[in-house]
Every structure is written in structure tokens, then in C-alpha cells.
């Protein structure tokens, strides 16, 4: 049922979104920025899950060692930072994978020789799109925007 503002009444229609295995703790939760897709994205240290809020079911999930997670507040993209196993300093240390919420395969993967410490989607001047801003361990900001087809 809906309340007087047209918002679903949580007490009247409770939803439980379960995931497995039970020994994983969800570290990030985000709704998609799009009003057209009623999806929730969650991450743990070992997995990403995308739920359909209407059906309460997992739409897709992918196993990966998630170190950081960021969701685009204006669209249907999200990004994860994953560590890469490396034997030499000349090889990449981490990767940033950018996903569309509807697909379990990343649409872009960027590999970095310097560790990426943090990231966030930031709205650009037009106000209807976001750029992904990364902070590297060498204190360099890296902006991935429209030119990189984020």
C-alpha cells in the first residue's frame, strides 16, 4: 500500500532481501540513481549483489574481492576497486571496474600501477551525468568522465 505521499508503506509491505553465504557482511548499500530501475546494489569484501526491489530477488551477483565501492547518484553505473596479485612493481597494483547495474560484466576496466585509495562519482557541470574521480596513493586525482565513456 502507498501512504498519502505515494510512497510504499514499509510496515504494510515488508521486504527481506536475503543473500548467501551468511558469513559475508554487506559493507556498502546503494540504490541506483535512475528512477526507472528499482534496484539495490550491495557489496561485501568478496561479492557484489544487485537486487530487484519490486520482486525482492537477486538480479545478478558476481564474486570479486571488493576493496572499495561507489555508485553513481545520477545514473545506473557503479564502480569497484579490486586488488591485483602482482609479482613485480612494474605490473598494475589495482583495477577499477565500472559496471552498468543491468550487467554482471564490467563495461570498462582500468588498471593502475599506483594504488587507488578512494573514489566517488561526482556530478559534472551539465548536472545530469557524473564523472568518476579517483584518488591515487601518489596523491594524484584521476578523473574518468565522458571522454573515457564511463
Closest residue by Cα to residue 61 from 19, 11, 90, 107: 19
**Going by C-beta distance under 8 Å and a sequence separation of 6 or more, which residues neighbour residue 55?**
none
Residue percentage of the chain with pLDDT more than 70:
73
* Alpha carbon distance 29, 38 (integer Å): 14
Confidence (pLDDT) at 113: 82
Residue 14 has pLDDT above 60, yes or no: no
Q: Any residues with CB less than 8 A from the CB of 100 and at least 6 apart, and which? A: 76, 77, 107
Greater confidence, 32 or 133? Answer: 133
Q: Give mean pLDDT, residues 79-94.
A: 74
Once rounded to an integer, what is the mean pLDDT over residues 68-87?
A: 86
Instruction: Write down how long the chain is.
Output: 150
Per-residue pLDDT reduced to its tens digit, 114-131: 889 999 999 887 767 789
Name which residue leads in pLDDT, 89 or 138.
Answer: 138
Question: Which bin fits 56, alpha (ψ -120 to 50), beta or left (φ > 0)?
Answer: left
**CA-to-CA distance for 47 and 63, rounded, in angstroms?**
4
35, pLDDT greater than 60:
yes
Amino acid at each position: 500500500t502507498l501512504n498519502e505521499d505515494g510512497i510504499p508503506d514499509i510496515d504494510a509491505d515488508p521486504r527481506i532481501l536475503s543473500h548467501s553465504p551468511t558469513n559475508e557482511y554487506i559493507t556498502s548499500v546503494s540504490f541506483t540513481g535512475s528512477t526507472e530501475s528499482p534496484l539495490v546494489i550491495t557489496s561485501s569484501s568478496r561479492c557484489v549483489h544487485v537486487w530487484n526491489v519490486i520482486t525482492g530477488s537477486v538480479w545478478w551477483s558476481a564474486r570479486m574481492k571488493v576493496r572499495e565501492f561507489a555508485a553513481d547518484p545520477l545514473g545506473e553505473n557503479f564502480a569497484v576497486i579490486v586488488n591485483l596479485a602482482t609479482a613485480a612493481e612494474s605490473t598494475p597494483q589495482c583495477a577499477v571496474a565500472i559496471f552498468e547495474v543491468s550487467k554482471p560484466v564490467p563495461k570498462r576496466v582500468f588498471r593502475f600501477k599506483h594504488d587507488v585509495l578512494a573514489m566517488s562519482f561526482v556530478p559534472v557541470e551539465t548536472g545530469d551525468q557524473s564523472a568518476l574521480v579517483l584518488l591515487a596513493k601518489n596523491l594524484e586525482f584521476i578523473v574518468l568522465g565522458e571522454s573515457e565513456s564511463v
